[in-house]
């Protein structure tokens, strides 16, 4: 009975969150120049081509999006590629690989991805924040300020505000102008000369510190170690069960972790009409994101213990320390370390979800009995 009521409650919340939205999906969807979308547009699929008028927000979850018509409010994009040629009268939030802006944005642009290009003719009335590998301002105009960082950055346009940026490599074009200060912090060694550098350029250097000289890193390291040990002390059987599940079904376990990280944020967004629920789901998601690597480290340590001491049940604390040190050590290796940590986090999350579901099924069976 409790499951039946909970299922209906979740269904009603989902329907309420989707009410008033124009929901589309599929391989390819196009809104022609003569069409109008009167509500928020929510798209799940591969490609969206928006030539018509959107009277509210766009929420895009897919591969490619091209916006050529006017949008009255914000645009939230999770995609590989996005091209904005039309007029967006709100803000733009982008998470993906490549964002290219060719039109006018009345609000601000916040982007996290591989590349951000503000192309010739683009105009942003607000601010621009970029966290990317490559940032390009090419004969575009930004009325506000530019902040953030990138591996390489090219500034060759007009910025009425200030520029505060961190990068490994910076280039200034002959068309660059700034109404405010220009502060560039080089993450590596600063170059001897910077062609076309503006007269108000301020250069800073941020030397990399060893791990043991960064207090905040030490604090995060010790807090993560403590949280993992605390979890193992409170739920010793859960970690062992997670290890057994991973040993027998590693691909399924990692896949469940990946699905959680992809789908749970969408569920949280859809619960926006019930703020307390949205806050609760968001807090749960952030907590699991924080614990995922620690749980995976515990599982990894026990798997290694079983590999080298198959006849002895591992000491859960020593096994966790083994996995924890290994995860943090490998994590310092560029690219490979990041991929390894992600895999460990996915396995830890997927294993915990399976254990929680089994516990829930067991408690439900006891209540029914």
Tell me the longest C-alpha to C-alpha distance in the chain.
79
Q: Report pLDDT for 39.
A: 81
The residue with tokens 């505000």 is 161
Q: Report pLDDT for 10.
A: 39
pLDDT tens sequence across 2-50: 443 344 333 333 433 444 567 777 788 888 888 888 888 888 788 999 9
Tens-level pLDDT at each residue, the chain (369 residues): 344 334 433 333 343 344 456 777 778 888 888 888 888 888 878 899 999 999 888 888 888 999 999 999 999 888 889 999 999 999 999 988 999 999 999 999 999 888 999 999 999 999 999 988 899 999 999 999 999 989 899 999 999 999 999 988 899 999 999 999 999 998 777 777 888 888 888 888 875 555 555 566 677 777 878 888 888 888 878 878 888 888 888 888 888 888 888 888 888 877 777 777 888 888 888 888 888 888 888 888 888 877 777 777 677 788 888 888 888 777 777 677 788 888 888 888 888 888 888 877 765 445 445
Distance separating alpha carbons of residues 364 and 173, to the nearest angstrom: 66
Q: Report pLDDT for 213.
A: 52
Distance separating alpha carbons of residues 159 and 142, to the nearest angstrom: 5
| Angle between helix 336-368 and 250-270 (nearest 10) | 80
**Closest residue by Cα to residue 85 from 106, 70, 103:** 103
Distance separating alpha carbons of residues 339 and 173, to the nearest angstrom: 36
Q: Report pLDDT for 64.
A: 92
Q: Which pairs with CB-CB distance under 8 Å and at least 24 residues apart come from 278-283?
A: none
Ramachandran sector of residue 121 (left: φ over 0; alpha: ψ -120 to 50; beta: rest): left
For residue 48, what are the β-bridge partners?
29, 65
pTM for the full predicted model? 0.57
Distance separating alpha carbons of residues 267 and 236, to the nearest angstrom: 30
Ramachandran sector of residue 160 (left: φ over 0; alpha: ψ -120 to 50; beta: rest): alpha
Q: Report pLDDT for 7.
A: 41
Q: Report pLDDT for 4.
A: 39
* Pair 182, 198: CB distance under 8 Å: yes
**Closest residue by Cα to residue 21 from 61, 67, 51, 66:** 61
DSSP 176-223: -EESS-EEEEESSPPPS--TT--TTEEEEE-PPPPGGG-HHHHHHHHH
């Amino acid at each position: 009975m409790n499951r039946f009521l909970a299922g209906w409650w979740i269904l009603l919340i989902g329907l309420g969150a989707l009410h008033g939205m124009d929901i589309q999906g599929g391989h390819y969807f196009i809104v022609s120049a003569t069409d109008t979308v009167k509500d928020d547009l929510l798209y799940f699929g591969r490609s969206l081509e928006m030539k018509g008028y959107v009277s509210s927000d766009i929420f895009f979850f897919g591969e490619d999006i091209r916006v050529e018509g006017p949008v009255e409010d914000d645009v939230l994009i999770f995609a590989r590629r996005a091209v904005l040629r039309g007029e967006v009268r709100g803000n733009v939030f982008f998470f993906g690989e490549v964002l290219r802006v060719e039109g006018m944005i009345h609000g601000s642009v916040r982007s996290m991805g591989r590349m951000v290009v503000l192309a010739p003719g683009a105009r942003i009335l607000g601010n621009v924040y970029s966290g990317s590998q490559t940032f390009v301002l090419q004969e575009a105009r930004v009325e506000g300020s530019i902040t953030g960082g990138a591996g390489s950055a090219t500034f060759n346009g007009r910025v009425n505000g200030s520029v505060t940026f961190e990068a490994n490599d910076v280039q200034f074009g002959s068309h660059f102008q700034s109404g405010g200060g220009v502060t560039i912090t080089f993450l590596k060694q600063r170059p001897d000369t910077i062609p076309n550098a503006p007269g108000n350029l301020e250069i800073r250097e941020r030397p990399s510190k060893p791990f043991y000289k960064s207090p905040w890193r030490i604090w995060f390291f010790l807090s993560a170690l403590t949280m993992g040990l605390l979890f193992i002390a409170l739920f010793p059987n859960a970690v062992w069960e997670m290890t057994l599940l991973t040993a027998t079904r590693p691909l399924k376990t990692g896949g469940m972790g990946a699905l959680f990280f992809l789908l749970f944020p969408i569920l949280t967004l859809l619960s926006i009409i019930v703020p307390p629920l949205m806050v609760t789901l968001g807090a749960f998601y952030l907590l699991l994101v924080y614990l995922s690597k620690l749980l995976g480290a515990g599982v990894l340590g026990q798997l290694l213990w079983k590999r080298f001491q198959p006849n002895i049940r591992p000491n859960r604390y020593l096994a966790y320390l083994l996995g924890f040190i290994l995860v943090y050590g490998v994590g310092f290796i560029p690219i490979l370390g990041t991929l390894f940590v992600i895999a460990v986090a996915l396995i830890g999350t997927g294993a915990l979800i399976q254990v929680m579901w089994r516990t829930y099924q067991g408690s439900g069976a006891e209540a029914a009995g």
